[in-house]
């Protein structure tokens, strides 16, 4: 949109000199286009500060707590509130003035689905989006340092770094404005509050109450340090590469001085020198030297580590749609299903008018929801078929799955403590330290016989059985019930259903 400037404006052009009291101005990257009364067009070079963004998306060896949902689809592309997780990041970055480019850094192998996502993101947000593949996991700082030339191309003044496994309202514009009022070549960390117990699971920040300078930083401390925690969103200037380089050279020196030649000079050793973590290796050294500042947010924030946390993140984004994208939320009406609370239904989905959806429900592409179906606090992935009168509560129904008539798939909520304003979601692990699935505690209407993966199959062939880590999962023809640990998997039709039940 053109903004109107009511101040007097004078300029020269080939047609002569003109003066006007009404000028329309539109600012592009390093360019100001002015139209005076529709008669003159002038291009004026302006000194705009370029901004870039880097989104760290990890790789296939990460996100094991998110399995099996991440087995066939990279976790950053898993749909939350109707869109891939990192699309929310890209959308927030695209709203920052003078944002030039968004880089995705990770060690996923290039694939058709990843390439298609990048192409679609470029077209939708009209901004350059590229994927840069690490040769192996280099840590949050190592990946930045490895691709520093790509990040610095075009000489940006600022660049954001966002972890790909968080959900937030991403107040990037506010972070940038605050940083512009601080000393040059200082950096910012987005932070929020957690309770004392849960703060031990995050990077903890001690900051000056007035200046917000970070005085002390500890990553996942063993004892309480601070209730102010790192949100995994940073704002840097190019100066940060000097600090990362210092860590890299120190790592090299340690390897050279090692008495073990294989560790010190072998290829594996040199690669380990490039593994750098911003949180542990850089922030701790910067704290207390006037170069690192905390930007506290009162908006929503959560990590996305497990299936249960994906449902919670979906709720947070659906709530935010009221202000940012009200058109995405389903509404009640004639020949429409009954909607309670916030619900997203993809345009290609078919939902029977007698179905009841909500609150916090996402229905993906090409999903069919039959008559009398009840869905609450759930994500229904692409191509699923929910047959008549089935009930889905606190669950994720996998791609191309079928839930039979009158079936009930129910998990337990994994929400933060509602009585603690600073509580965060607990991401329960699927596997215990010896690699076995955590024990289950709930049995709902299932027919089963005692057996082990090493034992004999029961003669009874009424149930379809699957084995994962020595635990039994069962499927009935029409009514599917499960004996499941937190966030485990159950076979439903041709796909997988993800449930979130608490571990014992």
**180: pLDDT strictly greater than 50:** yes
Longest C-alpha distance within the chain, in Å?
Answer: 96
d(CA 119, CA 427): 32
When pLDDT is averaged across residues 17-39 and rounded to a whole number, the result is 41
The least confident of 170-174, 331-335, 372-376, 452-456 is 452-456
Q: Is the pLDDT of residue 3 over 80?
A: no
Confidence of residue 436 (pLDDT cuts 50, 70, 90): low
Confidence band for 160, pLDDT divided at 50, 70 and 90:
very high
Q: What average pLDDT does range 127-150 have in this prediction?
A: 96
Q: Residue 336: helix, strand or coil by DSSP? A: coil
Distance of alpha carbon 245 from alpha carbon 238, whole angstroms: 12
Cα–Cα distances (Å) from 189 to 99, 176, 290, in that order, read 19, 11, 13
For residue range 286-322, list pLDDT tens digits in order: 999 999 999 999 999 999 988 889 999 999 999 999 9
Q: What is the DSSP string of 236-283?
A: E-TTHHHHHHHHHHHHHHHHHT-S-HHHHHSHHHHHHHT---IIIIII
DSSP 8-state symbol, 290: T
Q: What is the mean pLDDT of the chain?
A: 79
Q: What is the pLDDT of residues 82-117, one digit of tens each?
A: 999 999 999 999 999 999 999 999 999 999 999 999
**Tokens linked to 347:** 């345009």
Nearest alpha carbon to residue 311 among 386, 397, 191, 400: 397
* CATH top-level class of 51-303: alpha beta
Residue 339 has pLDDT above 60, yes or no: yes
- Confidence band, pLDDT 50/70/90 cuts, at residue 284: very high
Summarize the confidence of residues 319-340 as an average pLDDT.
96
Q: What is the pLDDT of residues 40-63, one digit of tens each?
A: 444 444 446 899 999 999 997 755
Q: Give the pLDDT confidence score for residue 31 in this predicted structure.
A: 43
Mention every residue, 6+ apart, whose C-beta is less than 8 A from residue 490: 409, 466, 473, 474, 475, 480, 482, 484, 496, 497, 499
- Min mean pLDDT across 29-38, 119-128, 230-239 is at 29-38
Q: Report the pLDDT averaged over residues 149-162.
A: 97
Residue percentage of the chain with pLDDT more than 90: 62
Instruction: State how far the Cα of 174 lies from the Cα of 466, in Å rounded to an integer.
Output: 50
pLDDT, position 308: 84
For residue 133, pLDDT over 90 is answered with yes
Q: What is the pLDDT of residue 126?
A: 96
Output the pLDDT for position 80: 98
- Domain parsing of the chain, residue ranges: 3-45, 51-303, 325-504
**Mean pLDDT, residues 381-385 taken together:** 96
SS3 call for 363:
strand
Phi, psi of 65 (to 5 degrees): -70, -15
Look at residue 37 and tell me whether its pLDDT is greater than 80: no
């Amino acid at each position: 949109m053109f903004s109107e400037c009511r101040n007097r404006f004078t300029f020269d052009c080939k047609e002569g000199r003109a003066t006007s009291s009404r000028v329309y101005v539109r600012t592009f990257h390093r360019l100001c286009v002015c139209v005076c009364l529709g008669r003159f067009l002038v291009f004026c070079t302006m000194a705009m500060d370029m901004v870039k963004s880097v989104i760290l998306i990890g790789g296939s060896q990460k996100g094991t707590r998110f399995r099996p949902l991440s087995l066939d689809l990279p976790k950053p592309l898993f749909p939350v509130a109707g869109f891939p997780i990192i699309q929310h990041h890209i959308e927030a970055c695209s709203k920052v003035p003078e944002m030039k480019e968004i880089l995705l850094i990770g060690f996923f192998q290039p694939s058709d689905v990843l390439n298609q996502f990048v192409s679609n993101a470029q077209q939708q947000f009209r901004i350059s989006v590229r994927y840069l593949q690490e040769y192996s996991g280099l840590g949050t700082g190592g990946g930045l340092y490895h691709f520093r030339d790509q990040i610095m191309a075009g000489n940006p003044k600022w660049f954001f770094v966002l972890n790909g496994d968080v959900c937030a309202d991403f107040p990037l514009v506010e972070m940038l404005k605050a940083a512009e009022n601080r000393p040059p070549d200082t950096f910012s960390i987005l932070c929020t509050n957690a309770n004392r117990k849960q703060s031990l699971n995050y990077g903890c920040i001690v900051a000056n109450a007035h200046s917000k300078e970070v005085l002390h930083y500890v990553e996942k401390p063993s004892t309480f340090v601070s209730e102010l925690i790192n949100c995994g969103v940073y704002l840097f200037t190019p100066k940060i590469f000097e600090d990362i380089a210092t860590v890299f050279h120190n790592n090299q020196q340690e390897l050279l001085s090692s008495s073990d030649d294989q560790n010190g000079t072998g290829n594996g050793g040199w690669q380990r020198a490039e593994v750098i973590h911003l949180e542990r290796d850089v922030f701790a050294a910067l704290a207390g030297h006037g170069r690192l500042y905390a930007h506290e947010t009162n908006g929503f924030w959560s990590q996305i580590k497990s299936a249960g946390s994906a449902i919670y993140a979906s709720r947070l984004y659906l709530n935010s749609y009221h202000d940012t994208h009200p058109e995405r939320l389903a509404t009640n009406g004639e020949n429409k299903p009954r909607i309670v609370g916030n619900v997203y239904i993809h345009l290609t989905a078919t939902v029977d008018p007698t179905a009841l959806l909500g609150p916090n429900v996402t229905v993906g592409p090409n999903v069919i929801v039959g008559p009398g179906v009840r869905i609450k606090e759930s994500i229904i992935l692409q191509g699923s078929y929910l047959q008549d009168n089935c009930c889905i509560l606190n669950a994720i129904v996998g791609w191309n799955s079928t839930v039979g008539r009158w079936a009930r798939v129910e998990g337990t909520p994994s929400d933060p403590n509602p009585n603690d304003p600073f509580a965060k979601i607990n991401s329960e692990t699927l596997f215990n330290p010896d690699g076995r699935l955590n024990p289950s505690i709930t049995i709902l209407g299932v027919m089963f016989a005692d057996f082990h993966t090493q034992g004999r199959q029961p003669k009874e062939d009424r149930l379809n059985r699957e084995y994962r880590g020595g635990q039994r999962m069962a499927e009935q023809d029409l009514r599917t019930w499960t004996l499941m640990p937190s966030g485990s998997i159950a076979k439903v039709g041709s796909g997988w259903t993800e449930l979130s039940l608490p571990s014992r």
